[in-house]
Structure 1
Amino acid sequence: MKVVVYSIQTYEKKLLAIANGKIHDLTLISNELNEETKAYALGKDVVIISGSDTLQAPMLRTLKNMGVGRILTRTLGTAHIDLVEAGNLDMQVANTPYEDQSPKGIAEQTIRNLNLWGSGRCVGTACRCLKECVVKFK
């Protein structure tokens, strides 16, 4: 999958690279997702954000128009994402809800979600879609 990761911290880069194992095409951006940096999402399948990135309806529509179909947040919460609009746009949304909330654990959960999406599967308990997914959890 082609992926852009926004608001990436220095310590996260190596952890994501190790967890990824060169499976997905990751573009790592230290800046937050905003009007000036949205161009990095062009042609990507997935946008990965942090809790400091806010995805309201206008930005979600922009991302959808750029070809992005999935949003993944490296957080437990999703209050920074307009889930209703994401659902209206048929965008899948996931978080990293598993017990290991260490930077390494979050990196591994992030790549696990990408791997599941990449193989056409549901992300299970990480799914934050408000609509029923057409893909069943296996």
Structure 2
Amino acid sequence: MKVVAYSVKPFEREHLAKANQKKHDITLIFNSLSLETAIFATDKQAVIVSAADDVSAAVINKLAELGVNYITTRSALAANIDKNAAGIHGIKLANAPNELGIAQQTIRNLDLWELNKCVGKACICAKACKK
């Protein structure tokens, strides 16, 4: 899966790389997600965000325009994500609900989505999906 990860801190790079084991084509950037930086998601299937990123309706609309189908956050918190806007566009959402390490859960979410499966307890979609 082609992915862009926003707001990546230096200490997160190694954790994400180890968890990914070169399965997904992940572009790691330091920029936070905003309407202006959403363009980095061009040709990506998924984006990885932090709890501080702007995942408002306007940003989600832009991500949907660019073809993004999945958004996972590197946090158990997801108050910054407009779930209704994602639901309108059919974008699946997930978080990292403290079951695994954050990097491992983030990659697990991508793995399951790539297999067209629900992410289980990590699912934070506005609409209930089949589990």
**2:81 maps to 1:109:** no
Q: TM-score, normalised by structure 2?
A: 0.95
Q: Kindly provide the CA deviation profile for residues 92-127 of structure 1, in whole angstroms up to 9, marking residues without a partner as x.
A: 000000245xxxx10011001111111111100000
**Structure 2, unpaired ranges of 5+:** none
- Secondary structure, in 3 states, of the residue corresponding to 1:48? strand
- CA RMSD, aligned part only? 1.0
Q: TM-score, normalised by structure 1?
A: 0.91
**Structure 1, unpaired ranges of 5+:** none
Residue 57 of structure 2 aligns with an amino acid whose one-letter code is A
- Secondary structure, in 3 states, of the residue corresponding to 1:54? coil
2:118 is matched with 122
Matches within 5 A, 1:54-133: 54-100=54-100, 105-133=101-129
- In the aligned structure 2, how far is the partner of 1:93 from the partner of 1:68? 11
Identity of aligned residues (%): 48
- Greater than 4 Å deviation, 4+ residue runs: none
- In the aligned structure 1, how far is the partner of 2:36 from the partner of 2:83? 23
1:35 shift after superposition:
2.9
Matched residues, number: 131
Residue 124 of structure 1 aligns with an amino acid whose one-letter code is G
